[in-house]
Amino acid sequence: MENIHKYLNITLTGPVSVRQVNLEDIPEDSFIYIVMGPTGSGKSTFIEALGRETAEYHPEKALSISKDSLESVTQHITAYELSNVYKELNQIPRSQNLSFYIIDTPGFADQKISEMEVLKHLQDFLNSPAISKRSINAIRFLYFQPVNNVRLAGSKRLCLSIFKALCSTGIGQNSKIHTALVTTMWDQLYTERLHKRGEEIEAELAESQWKNWKDKKSQMLRFDNTCSSAFLIIDKLASLPDFFWITRDVNLSDRTEIGRLAYTSLVHRIEGLHSQLNIVETNLKDQTTEANPELKELYLKEKREIEAELTKFEEEMNTFLAGSKRRNRFLKSFDDFKSRLFEVK
């Protein structure tokens, strides 16, 4: 099989295009890359970049799944096939070529969907026939983290902690080597000063949030919004051992680290929505609002939207607590757990 590009671990046999496929159409013998991260971190842009060179000559094959928004482009688990990309796998009793699939997940820290719901979507995917009947666990996990923010806010640190808990206990034993932290938004750092700050944020991640994982051979990689950097990420992770033990139970309970973290995130967003609701209600009582029907209607619409989100997330919280066998004990220890998570670092 002729490799038209000089990659070490993957073979490109022709122009690469990316197309959405049904989850049930993913073959057993394939390489799967699961991409996760906050909304707006560049996950969808990464997927688009993989087919960008082909799209330049064949616009009809271009994907258009990314946008500048606080809401996730992806609200469900979505699969994409990379055409003409393979990994040669030599094993007894046969040799074969594995095709590549990218699994896009709903974004963390999204206004409309909680981290707990994202994890439930992921668990459903891991229990689907596309995964549960696989003979080869050639699966990689990528977490996308922008470096164009001044600091890593508490909510974003929490999201990264959820991903680490997922891959430490909820997904696979000794699976850290099959993960990578992908820093993004380098192309948005237009000045030397901003680029230096991005490098400082990257270094902080390497020495704090990701240090233990780097020590255990997990990689830190850069995506600079180019086709070549996207394929280098695919290539680097394709070099790793193909097999690792995997469990399909994410186990979102008060007895697990990932369950406590997901619940913390849910409480954090509910508290934020209550604060927003208080502000809107205060504005509705203002005399200026009373005198302006159009402004009043805008505030009423915002109030209805916040109340709908509160209802949804509070139902998720109550469902989680209803399954707790030690609810009172859990709630007593929760405040201390949350304060340690959001401690300024």
Cβ burial, residue 162 (10 Å; 0-12/13-18/19+): buried
Locus of tokens 């969907």: 113
| CB neighbour list of residue 315: distance below 8 Å, 6 or more residues apart | none
- Which amino acid, 171? I
Strands 11-12 and 219-222: unpaired
Query: Which of 20-29, 62-71, 170-179, 297-306 is least confident?
Result: 62-71
State both tokens at 9: 């671990």
pTM of the model: 0.86
Residue 174 pLDDT exceeds 50: yes
Pairwise pLDDT comparison (169 vs 35), residue with the higher score: 35
Residue 257's CB is within 10 A of a number of other CB atoms, namely 16
Give residue limits of the domains in the chain: 11-239, 257-343
Domain 11-239 in this protein, CATH class: alpha beta
Mean pLDDT of 32-53: 92
51-69 confidence digits (pLDDT tens): 887 655 455 555 555 555 4
Are the C-beta atoms of residues 309 and 114 closer than 8 Å to each other?
no
298-315 confidence digits (pLDDT tens): 999 999 999 999 999 999
State both tokens at 295: 């402004």
Output the pLDDT for position 73.
Answer: 57
State both tokens at 326: 């030690």
Output the pLDDT for position 94.
Answer: 44
Output the pLDDT for position 70.
Answer: 45
| CB neighbour list of residue 200: distance below 8 Å, 6 or more residues apart | none
